[in-house]
Amino acid sequence: MMDLENLLSGPLSRLNPRVADWAYAGLRRIPTVRRRLETEFDGLLSTLREAVKPYRDELPSYRRLPQQGMDRADVLAQLELLAAREEHRWKDGYVSGAVYHGDEDHLEFLGTVAELHSQANPLHADLWPSAIKFEAEIVSMTAGMLGANQTADEIVGTVTSGGTESILLAMKAYRDRGARRGIKRPEIVAPVTAHVAFDKAAQYLGLTLIRIPVDESFRADVPAAAAVIGRNTVAVAGSAPAFPHGTIDPIEELSTLAAERGVGFHTDACLGGFVLPWAEKLGHPVPPFDFRLPGVTSMSADTHKYGFASKGTSVIVYRGRELRRFQYFTAANWPGGLYSSPTLAGSRPGSLSAACWAAMVSMGESGYLEATARILETAAAIRSGIERIPELNIVGDPLFVVAFGSETLDMYRVMEHMNGRGWNLTGLQSPPALHLAVTLRHTSGGVAERFLGDLQAALADVNTHAHDRSGVAPVYGMAAMVPARTVVGELLERYIDLLYEV
Ligand SMILES: Cc1ncc(COP(=O)(O)O)c(C=O)c1O
């Protein structure tokens, strides 16, 4: 690994990124360099393979359909074994985010609901009007939570499959509204910390994404946004809060600016949509971020995160039906019949919408308030514990996503050592840091204390094993080198290939 790092941090690192990419492409064609790269890739991927393919030698693999169908009891036995093997880390609170509720009775309840509505498909509204009822009410309840009741405008939306799809669809709506207004080269503006789903949307939809910097508190730099909004801008976005450091952008200033320039403004509240309204009610200082701000024209809020629904649902909400219509797809002359669909997928899992609705109505305001109080209390305890560790510093001003870095330690090695102790934290870049998105899994059973104890121990491990450079730590090191990004991009592609190896 160090070889590859040396290669990339050498002369290439002094080149302008475009030239470096070009030089890398050239270097890659030289057989010795190519062979060395392949060896390095193989080495890295074999470590990753161990982590994501643990069952290879243990359980039968199905490269082809079994000739005779397996006995259902045997299938279930395999599934039970796999679930049992994988549940300990998230159940016992070793994981950042990922499973946001996870109490057994809650999961059992969601499972029962999904089973009852297992065949439902909202695409066929006439067959499953219940699915349509659930979705309309999910949107309405979410909108109400996000300020819809305190604005004269109608706030409408749809249920989607997740945060990424919500963002993608909002950007599609702005692109298509822009096209109606004559914008041929649409641009969107978002802080560097806004979720990478905005890059995905730009790539899929042919938009140009202009990333603006954040200030020293990791919040979007408003003058920088003002400087780049131009006649091709179709939307500006900010996060409440942003995934990396849990910081809330200055949504009021950004949305006012967008309104003054006549462009849309999207608050990405995928992470915070089901926390911030309750945090505010609990008296925490939450800056305005929702439809109470007149410049906010759309928002995304993920039911499958702090909404405590099963994975696979999110909500996208708009100010007014006109904007929402730009999201829709309709076809009037297809031989297969008249077709219309609100979101990316055609057929959709009605079971997930039913479970989402059930999660929301069973939690109610009181349930979300109580959950938020517990999460914020735990996050504050973790934050102050980290603040007491001299080698570490808190990044930004976290409420429930606690990010921390260090002036002296390699945070990716801290991540590796935490991993060795069972933890699954998120690695962040620019600056190198880690975060723990606090969920209900962390709020009981002494998890916060265990986290802080393991963190102290991991720091000691890093100091004791100063020369150990294993795991993904070096890959993060490489990604920080501009010309190495192409290599890391290639590695990430190979990683996805690896996931689909039987
Ligand atoms: C702020 C924010 N936006 C968008 C997303 C994307 O959500 P998903 O993974 O559900 O597509 C996330 C995911 O963590 C997020 O934190």
pLDDT in tens, the chain (502 residues): 445 555 555 555 555 666 767 777 787 888 888 888 888 888 889 888 988 999 999 999 999 999 999 999 999 999 999 999 999 999 999 999 999 999 999 999 999 999 999 999 999 999 999 999 999 999 999 999 999 999 999 999 999 999 999 999 999 999 999 999 999 999 999 999 999 999 999 999 999 999 999 999 999 999 999 999 999 999 999 999 999 999 999 999 999 999 999 999 999 999 999 999 999 999 999 999 999 999 999 999 999 999 999 999 999 999 999 999 999 999 999 999 999 999 999 999 999 999 999 999 999 999 999 999 999 999 999 999 999 999 999 999 999 999 999 999 999 999 999 999 999 999 999 999 999 999 999 999 999 999 999 999 999 999 898 767 667 777 787 777 656 677 888 889 999 999 999 9
Indicate the burial class of 245 (C-beta count within 10 angstroms; 0-12, 13-18, 19 or more). buried
- The residue whose CB lies within 8 Å of the most ligand 1 atoms, and thus the one to mutate among 164, 198, 316, is 164
Residue 334 inside a domain? The answer is yes
231 in any annotated domain = yes
- 309 CA distance to ligand 1 centroid (A)? 15
- Residue 1, pLDDT score: 42
- Provide the pLDDT for residue 262: 98
Counting ligand 1 atoms within 8 A of each CB, the residue from 196, 271, 316, 439 with the most, and so the one to mutate, is 271
Query: From atom 8 of ligand 1, which residue's Cα is the shortest distance away?
Result: 163
From the CA of 162, give the closest atom in ligand 1: 10
Would 283 be classed as within a structural domain? yes
Q: 200 C-alpha vs ligand 1 centroid, how far in Å?
A: 12
Residue 159, in any domain of the structure: yes
In the reported structure, the alpha carbon of residue 275 is separated from the centroid of ligand 1 by a whole-number distance in angstroms of 14
Going by alpha carbons, the residue nearest to atom 6 of ligand 1 is 163
Ligand 1 center to 304 CA (angstroms): 10
Residues of the domain holding 312: 115-359
Question: What residue owns the CA closest to ligand 1's atom 9?
Answer: 163
The answer to whether residue 89 is domain-embedded is no
In the chain, % helix, strand, coil (3-state, to 5) comes to 50, 15, 35
Ligand 1 atom with the shortest distance to the CA of 97: 14
Q: Give yes or no for a contact between 428 and 451, defined as CB atoms under 8 angstroms apart.
A: no
Among the listed residues 279, 318, 295, the one whose alpha carbon sits nearest the alpha carbon of residue 287: 279
* Ligand 1, CB within 6 Å, residue ranges: 162-164, 195, 197, 239, 242-243, 268, 270-271, 302, 314
Residue 198: Cβ within 10 Å count = 26
Ligand 1 atom 7, closest CA: 163
- Which residues make beta-bridge pairs with 300? 268, 316
For residue 338, the CA-to-ligand 1 centroid distance in Å is 33
Check which CATH number belongs to the domain holding 187 and give it: 3.40.640.10
**Gap between the Cα atoms of 79 and 108, Å rounded:** 16
Cα gap 340→269, rounded to integer Å:
27
Distance 166 CA to ligand 1 centre (A): 9
Ligand 1 center–CA 416 separation, angstroms = 24
Please give the number of the atom of ligand 1 that sits closest to the Cα of 243.
16
Q: Work out whether strand 233-239 and strand 187-191 pair parallel, antiparallel, or are unpaired.
A: parallel
Ligand 1 centre distance from Cα of residue 428 (Å): 15
Which atom, in ligand 1's list, is nearest to the CA of 304?
10
Query: Do the beta carbons of residue 368 and residue 278 sit within 8 Å?
Result: yes
In the prediction, which pLDDT does 181 show? 97
Please indicate, yes or no, if residue 396 is contained in any of the structural domains. Answer: no
Cα-Cα end-to-end distance for the chain = 26
CB 66 within 8 A of CB 74: no
437 CA distance to ligand 1 centroid (A)?
A: 12
Total domain count, the chain:
1
Q: Which atom of ligand 1 is nearest to the CA of 305?
A: 10
Secondary structure (3-state) at 291: coil
Q: Which residues of 361-391 are buried (b: 16+ CB within 10 A; e: fewer)?
A: eebeeebbbebbbbbbebbbbbbebbeeeee
Measured by CA distance, the residue closest to atom 16 of ligand 1 is 243
Gap from CA of 270 to ligand 1 centroid (Å): 6
Cα–ligand 1 centroid distance for 404 (angstroms): 20
If one counts every other C-beta atom within 10 angstroms of the C-beta of residue 349, the result is: 21
Instruction: Report how far ligand 1's centroid is from the alpha carbon of 274 (Å).
Output: 13
> Which of 159, 161, 169, 195 is the best mutation target for the ligand 1 pocket, counting ligand atoms within 8 Å of the beta carbon and taking the most?
195
Mutate to test the pocket of ligand 1, among 160, 302, 315 (most ligand atoms within 8 A of CB): 302
pTM for the full predicted model: 0.95
Nearest atom in ligand 1 to the alpha carbon of residue 165 is: 11
Q: How far is the CA of 302 from the centre of ligand 1 (A)?
A: 8
Q: Whose CA is nearest to atom 5 of ligand 1?
A: 163
Q: How far is the CA of 438 from the centre of ligand 1 (A)?
A: 15
User: Which atom of ligand 1 is least distant from the CA of 194?
Assistant: 1
Q: Is 158 left (phi over 0), alpha (psi -120 to 50) or beta?
A: beta
Q: Is residue 451 part of a domain?
A: no
Q: What is the pLDDT of residue 24?
A: 74
What single string gives the DSSP state of each residue in 78-94? HHHHHHHHHHHHHHTT-
Task: Look at residue 347 and tell me if it is in a domain.
Answer: yes
**How far apart, in whole angstroms, are the C-alpha atoms of residue 196 and residue 97?**
17
248 sits in which H/E element: none
